[in-house]
Structure 1
């Protein structure tokens, strides 16, 4: 995965041993490690922004569904009919249930 070698230091023996769980890297690998960290941070920032954008779109979708149901309910009531509340209809809509569940996930 990475060409950066990690090292474990035995100071009392004044030796260093290559170790996958070591706490140290060689100076020549430091710039590569920093570059890799910067790249990963940029990817994380981009992914976080995409998540925020998608969540905003899902919330807008919920508003559109609510407004559509409200318009239909108002029309039914306007013609003298009886209709469930918008929230009740949304609570039973499989798409709304999925969107709400997706928005609740951490």
Structure 2
């Protein structure tokens, strides 16, 4: 690195020591879906692309980004909470799917039982009547409605 401006001397060393870094200024470095919308210059001294300069970055085109140990710890905690919440949501999705499969299998057994009864000359309620009056299916439907808002 060979900075031309004496104000930039020591930046690389500071970046190494502090753990921070320069990043393009969001006020003057335009992106769309994470990709620059135009060609921007790269600053070897700041080790980042730089915007065209604005009031947010003082005309530099980049801003200093650094997290304290406390901020990093807070970020880790938030990530862990998000991971835990995601895992719980995925568990609910898997349980809902299993409960729906179980419900279908249960109703299929009702249909098979009804068909056998009728094939031997007996009489039996239609499957929809049996479904509506079965307490186990009512519990399953209530559980599905509570997690999804519909059966």
Question: Deviation at 1:27?
Answer: 4.0
Q: Which residue of 2 aligns with 1:85?
A: 126
Aligned partners of 1:61 and 1:85: how far apart in 2?
A: 20
TM-score, length-scaled by structure 1: 0.71
Kindly tell me the number of residue pairs found equivalent between the two proteins: 81
Structure with higher Rg: it is 2
Q: Which residue of 2 aligns with 1:105?
A: 146
Where does structure 1 lack aligned partners over 5 or more consecutive residues?
1-25
Query: Which structure: greater helix fraction?
Result: 1
Q: Runs (4+) of structure 1 moved beyond 3 Å? A: none
The question of 1:62 aligning with 2:125 is answered no
Q: After superposition, where does 1:1-106 map in structure 2 within 5 Å? A: 27-106=68-147
Where does structure 2 lack aligned partners over 5 or more consecutive residues?
1-66
Aligned partners of 2:81 and 2:140: how far apart in 1?
A: 29
Question: Deviation at 1:28?
Answer: 4.0
Aligned partners of 2:119 and 2:130: how far apart in 1?
A: 18
Cα root mean square deviation, aligned: 1.4
Question: Deviation at 1:102?
Answer: 0.4
